[in-house]
Amino acid sequence: MSGTGPEATDSRLYDLAARFDWPGEALARARELAGLEADEAAWRRYADTFLAATAAALILAGIAAFFAWNWDALGRFARFGLLEGGIVLAILAVWRFGIDSPPGRTALVAASFLVGVLLAVYGQAYQTGADPYEMFLWWTVLVLPLAVAGRQPALWLLVVVLSNLTLIMYWTQVLDPPEGVWLLGQLLGPLFLLGAFVANSELSAALFALNAVALLAWEAGAARDVGWMQGSWWRRIVIFLTFGTVVPPSLIIIFGASFGENLHITLLSPLLLAVAGAACVYYYQFRCRDLFALTLCAFAAILVITSVAIRVMLDSVGSILLLALLIIAQVAAAAYWLRSVARRWEGGA
C-alpha cells in the first residue's frame, strides 16, 4: 500500500476487518494488496535472511570452538587481538552495508556475540575471580547501546536472554545460594544452576516480572506503530519465556515433589500463571490477535489440569484410562476453541 499512513500489517488489517465487518474475501484481498501474502520474492527474502543468520551463527560457533581448542597455543595478545579485530571488522561491516540492511544487521549481532566471547576470554586469561553473573551483567550493559542503535528484534532478544541469565546467576550465587543437590552446580558449572529457578517461587516471580515487563514494553511500542517492533516471532519467544518461569514451579506444587530438599515453593507461581493466562487469552484474542499465544495458554492449562488429575487419580489401571480420555478431551476442546477463534478472525469478527 502506498501513502504516508502507518504501515499495513496483519494485526491492523484484522482490526479494520473487525471494526467495519469486512467479509472474508475483502480481508484476503486487502492482505494481497498490502503485500502480506507470501509470493516467490517474499520466500526468497526469507530464505536469504535465514541462510545469512545461519551462516553467521555457524561462524560465531566456529570462533568459540577455535578459542576453546587452541587456548594453550594462543598467547594472551593473540587472543585479545583476534577477538577485538573481529569486533572491529563487524562494526566496519555495519558501517559499510548500513545498519538497517540484512548484512549490517547480521554483523551487528555478530559483534554483540563477540563482546561476550571477549569478556569470557578476559576472565579466563586474568583469572579475576569474579562470579559468572558479572560477565553476563557486563555483557548485557555493553550490548544494550548496540541494541538501542540497531533497532532490531534479534539484539533485544539477546538483551532479554542475558538479563534472565544474569538474574538467575546473581540470585543463585549471591542472594540465595542453593543447598543440597543444587550444590552440584559448583562442580558442574553455572549452567547447572539454570534449573534452580524451579525450586524457588521468588526467583520464578522475579524472572516472570522481568519477561513480562519486556513483553509489555514491546507491545506498547508495536501499538504505537514502531516499524521494527511489528514482527511476531520476538513476542512469541518472550511469551514462551514468561510462561516458562511459572509453569514448572506450579507443577512442582501439584506433585509435591520436594525430594527432601528445602525448596522455596509457594502459591505465588500458580497465581502468576493464572493472571498471565487470563491476560494473554483476552489480549491476544481481542486486542492483538496471535494464535500462537493462545495455543501456549491452552497448552499450559492442559499441563496443569493433567498434573492435577495425575496427582488425584493415578492409582489403578482404570485411572490410567480415565487420564488418557481426559487428555484427549482437553486436546480436542483446545483445538475446537482455537479453530473457532481463527474462523471468527477470518470472518472479520
pLDDT digit string (tens) for 48-76?
667 766 776 777 777 777 766 776 667 77
Q: How many Cβ atoms from other residues are within 10 Å of residue 323's Cβ?
A: 16
Residue 31 to residues 1, 60, 239, Cα–Cα distance (Å): 10, 38, 26
Which residue range(s) make up the domain with 28?
A: 1-37
Q: Is residue 145 part of a domain?
A: no
The pLDDT tens digits for 192-247 are 555 555 667 788 889 999 999 999 998 888 888 777 777 778 888 999 999 988 88
Choice among 119-123, 279-283, 325-329 with the minimum mean pLDDT: 119-123
Residue with C-alpha cell 538483551? 159
Kindly list the distances between the CA atom of residue 110 and the CA atoms of 10, 139, 348, in Å, as whole numbers in the listed order.
30, 13, 42
Residue among 266, 295, 132, 281 nearest 205 (CA): 266
Task: Evaluate whether residue 2 is within a structural domain.
Answer: yes
Predicted confidence (pLDDT) at residue 278 exceeds the cutoff of 50: yes
Q: Best-predicted range by mean pLDDT among 76-80, 158-162, 249-253, 284-288?
A: 158-162
What pLDDT sits at residue 309?
A: 85
- Asked whether residue 119 is assigned to any structural domain, the reply reads no
- Using the structure block, give the residue that is written with the C-alpha cell 536472554: 161
Q: Report yes or no on 11 lying in a domain.
A: yes
In a domain, 31, yes or no: yes
Question: Which residues 6+ apart lie within 8 Å of 141 measured at CB?
Answer: none
pLDDT at res. 65: 76
- Asked if residue 191 is part of any domain, the answer here is no
Residue at 83 is within a domain: no
pLDDT in the model for residue 261: 47
Following CA atoms 25, 231, 272, 306 in sequence, which dihedral angle do they give, to the nearest 10 degrees?
Answer: 60
Residue 44 in domain: no
Q: Domain total for the chain?
A: 1
Note the pTM of the prediction, 2 decimals: 0.75
When comparing pLDDT for 199 and 159, which is higher?
Answer: 159
Whether the per-residue pLDDT at 260 is higher than 50: the answer is no
